[in-house]
Structure 1
């Protein structure tokens, strides 16, 4: 798995799985993801025909969620795409999908003036979230983007605002020591699973190797997160994605769920209705929380409210629903289609 070059002493700093009670700002090491650089005069045109988000409307200094699908509309990867300049982009996805996704994209990239390169080792990436976000960035001499999905750049750093209280910090490893020292002295350093927990609570699902080509984008609520454009032209899988939006009725979508215990089920673990023995969904991602385990799960909508759902098998832990910050908007959109 490609990883950012991080000294063992730094990696050892980010081992706590959960913040202690009362922590207001956390810093997480994002060592589970990889970075692809895409450059060249045809890069925007190439990406526009490959991904669900609208690359043509993405300005330099902006970022968006998105997905790459197979021709059947099934997601091969989910990602955050950042546009640095007219012909320069950075795409972040799960590290274990990197080689497979580069291979898929290169099948089409040969027809364009664009280059794809694994630049994971060129960046040390951190996630920060909490009430002191802006203050910590300022005190660390890091730029602070003004709005969600905007990007602030300096010669040796990028900061991507992904929510009012959360951002990604990208640093050049060979010049990052003093910045990291200050960041870790003013925040609580946590392992990447704490960032996964934040994503779960924000309702941002991700594709893992275990769920490669399992979900269409709407199953992961990607249209609600700005990661799918229904106005752009054709892209791989577009026909299926658009048909589901305008002509079909989505029978499964992603929910936040709560589980007892302290073992997070891996992505792709089935969700079963204990009363009938029927499989009604699968886990997208899961992480330990302060009171058990939280997850995102794609469930059949007519089964989501059942009190007999279990994870893995009939003897697995019971699953109950939590809430997502955009539930009301999703439900309103679904009601409009009925």
Structure 2
């Protein structure tokens, strides 16, 4: 079965095609430190057999987090707890990545700290962000770079830059959030300028042998938002700077989204077909058969299982057994799956 076949990209030697996507626990504190709950959560999934675990959205600045309970990598003391988690998970055979993020106009922070491409609030119950100056952009770029260096010191195999779900980089790409009149707004090329600058800066400081992933919202599910052809073109622009693209959708507009198993697969398939960049598909992928079909049909190169791995950390072991394949996990679990 293809979902259990290996794959290599740069330094990442995948033992199978199953990825645990980033899902926020919101259990850190104002200090952004990882603690025992994070360790138990991630290490138990690593023991369950996914090839790659992408740790949750982690703030590159204290005021740039989705909530005050998100992890952080803006200062050195935060490295120690993350390194403990990375080591535990790698010892169980998982590759480890961390998603670096600035939440932009969706930050939970004092209003005077909230930044966006334009002075447009996400909604009536959100504070008005300040339109970013070039000095703001430089500071955020520096923060992404510093966080990447700390991620390397923590031992991560890869980083994922969060460019999805209406957070800062995503909002620059979206015409709904970015209505700037300067060189950072207007055409796709201009809207893409700042996200590309961040990627370029991070690529320069991140070890050349290590992979960079990029998560994107391929569409805003809104007629005036970013559309799939623009996302395809942006991935082409970013291709020299990234190794894998992780395709999601939405987050820049409060609109109803028709959600069903595999609802984002056409987006992943189009990006893979049109760009040639390896793709992670995500979005209510629920069964082994569905995951296998995605790979066999060429819709993606990897499948991310979020809810399934929350429900069943041993999803990989269970599904290998059901497929008649030998057990490959920790010896202490062997009697449950042989």
Q: TM-score range by the shorter chain?
A: under 0.3
In proportion to residue count, which structure has more strand?
1
Report the TM-score when normalising by structure 1.
Answer: 0.27
In proportion to residue count, which structure has more helix?
2
Report the TM-score when normalising by structure 2.
Answer: 0.27
Question: Which structure has more RCO (C-alpha within 8 Å, separation ≥ 6)?
Answer: 1
